[in-house]
Amino acid sequence: MLSVRLKMTIQQSEPDPQFLLENMFVAVMDNIFLLVLVTLLSVVQNVFFALKVEKECTGQHSKPHSAAFERLSCANRNCMDTYPTFLAVLWCAGICLSQAPAAFAGIIYLVVRQKYFVGYLGQTCQSTPGFLFGKRILFFLSLMCAVGIINHLMLSYGGNDYKEYIQTITKAASALLLLP
């Protein structure tokens, strides 16, 4: 649809530059709105975690350092420690290569994080002790970044553009993240 509108604009005898600029921003939004959506979901999850910790903290301030609060606070800290890394990789992968597989991997990461946090609350045997969870997803996103950069360099210096093939492969590969 955007192409049609742009074509109309360019074929006019006097194209309106304001319209060209607006279309540029629509095109940018087209390429990031799924990433914004995932970011928004992750922020909602962060607030959910923080409210859990706050509730535990104010609810039991008679005995401030109970075991439950310690575990909750530790789970929250582990989640927050990897959050900037996750955001950086998500956005780089989405911008460099393709937003749909990146956003899909981001959603799966949020589900894994939720399971990790809830598992931490419950019995100790359920909880994962690692500092990094969702390693596979972060690795997948990093790989997407690297492939995107390599493709850009090949396009700049060699003139070959394999972006469409790579995007197809990436979409297929992102389904593999669903494997347990």
Residue choice 57, 108, 112, 166 for contact with a copy of itself (CB under 8 A): 57
29 vs 19: CA distance, rounded Å: 15
Residue choice 63, 67, 123, 131 for contact with a copy of itself (CB under 8 A): 131
Select 50 or 175, whichever has its Cβ closest to a copy of itself: 50
**126 touches a copy of itself (CB under 8 A):** no
For the window 59-98, what string marks contact with a copy of itself as x by the rule CB under 8 A? Answer: -----------------xx--xxxxxx-xxx--x--xx--
152 vs 45: CA distance, rounded Å: 34
**53 touches a copy of itself (CB under 8 A):** yes
168 vs 31: CA distance, rounded Å: 16
Q: Is 2 left (phi over 0), alpha (psi -120 to 50) or beta?
A: alpha
Least CB distance to a copy of itself at residue 179 (A): 21
**Residue that has been written with the tokens 């799924």 in this structure:** 34
Q: Phi and psi (nearest 5°) for 117?
A: -65, -45
Nearest Cα to Cα of residue 96 among 17, 32, 19: 32
Tokens of 11: 């074929």
Give me the residues that bind a copy of itself (CB under 8 A), please.
Answer: 1-3, 6-7, 9-11, 14-15, 17-18, 20-21, 24-33, 36-37, 39-40, 42-44, 46-47, 50-51, 53-54, 57-58, 76-77, 80-85, 87-89, 92, 95-96, 129-132, 135, 138, 142, 145-146, 148-149, 152-153, 155-156
